[in-house]
Amino acid sequence: MKVLIIGGAGMVGRKLAERLAKDGALAGKAISKLTLYDVVPGVVPEGAQAPVAILTGDLPAAGEADKLLADRPDVIFHLAAIVSGEAEQDFDKGYRINMDGTRSLLEAVRKAGHKPRLVFASSIAVFGAPFPDAIGDEFFNTPLTSYGTQKNICELLITDYSRKGFVDGIGIRLPTVCVRPGKPNKAASGFFSNIMREPLAGADAVLPVSESVMHWHASPRAAVGFMQHAASLDLAKLGWRRAITMPGLAVTVGEQIAALRKVAGDRVVARIRRVPDPFVETIVAGWPRNFAPKRAIALGFKADASFEEIIRIHIEDELGGKIA
């Protein structure tokens, strides 16, 4: 089986590649080749049991997606995107990368003609207010950000290309992935990770919103599990509703901080500074807070057990089990 990860140098892409390299198989089939594609070079995972190709390029550019499909990958994970805050501030860039890049990929798949499995990383940003207490599987999509609109368009494209028999695609709406390792990015949701990651590493962090803000979270480990499960799922069970909301945890910022205090103590929590940011507050106000993802749970997708578990996963996977 040949596997292509678009966005393979990103955080989730890197962790997915590491998991696949460790397992050596996907959906019960041995991986014969793993290709990591991004705008910057990815890293060959340690212990890879199959050849790993590292490619760079600009996905929306003419002919670029055709090059990726020349190898006829059996499974494609499409994780590449301009993040929420940047997509909102740079309208043209957001549509070029998030929408045009996906359309270019789907057209290349159609021309290649071998109908691969496509797992698309969508987002809960496809939903817009007003929200019920918990968003169910029948709730309509009315995104209130450019990023959410772009992801919603891509979901519809993937469903239509699947219906026409060009691809076997699924869009999985990821919760906000927390705690993200590495440096802060331009995602408006970045502070959810920052207020955990930096204090655990011995640095100060800025909280730009109220502690009453509630959001939907999953750990990087859970996100990778979602990807693997989506690649092996019998998509006939979805019918032509090929976009599905992933399970997660609905917690307030205050509950995040309480979990951090329980795991790491007051000394670590004291490193969080409250500095309100109206731009971030406005974006976050239009985001969904809680879900009832019955379809995903019935199909076997599994979330983290608690936010404390999410913090402990970060400490184990990124900090060597130690808190600064």
pLDDT tens per residue across all 324 residues of the chain? 999 999 999 999 999 999 999 999 999 999 999 999 999 999 999 989 899 999 999 999 999 999 999 999 999 999 999 988 899 899 999 999 999 999 999 999 999 999 999 999 999 999 998 999 999 999 999 998 999 999 999 999 999 999 999 999 999 999 999 999 988 777 778 999 999 999 999 999 999 999 999 999 999 999 999 999 999 999 999 999 999 999 999 999 999 999 999 999 999 999 999 999 998 898 888 788 999 999 999 999 999 999 999 999 999 999 999 998
Task: Establish if 324 belongs to a structural domain.
Answer: no
Task: Establish if 128 belongs to a structural domain.
Answer: yes
Q: Are residues 75 and 41 in the same domain?
A: yes
Task: Establish if 182 belongs to a structural domain.
Answer: no
Q: Are residues 208 and 223 in the same domain?
A: no
Its domain, for residue 101, covers 2-177+219-245
Residue 291 DSSP label = B
Distance, CA of 302 to CA of 120 (rounded, Å): 18
Active site residue 37: no
Q: Considering its fold, how many domains does the chain have in total?
A: 2
Q: Are residues 157 and 95 in the same domain?
A: yes
Q: The domain spanning residue 31 has which CATH number? A: 3.40.50.720
- Within 8 A by CB and 6+ apart from 58, the residues are 39, 64
The residue annotated as part of the active site, out of 37, 95, 147, 161, is: 147
User: How, if at all, do strands 249-252 and 52-56 pair?
Assistant: unpaired
The CA radius of gyration of the chain, in Å to the nearest whole number, is 19
Task: Establish if 75 belongs to a structural domain.
Answer: yes
Q: Are residues 74 and 196 in the same domain?
A: no
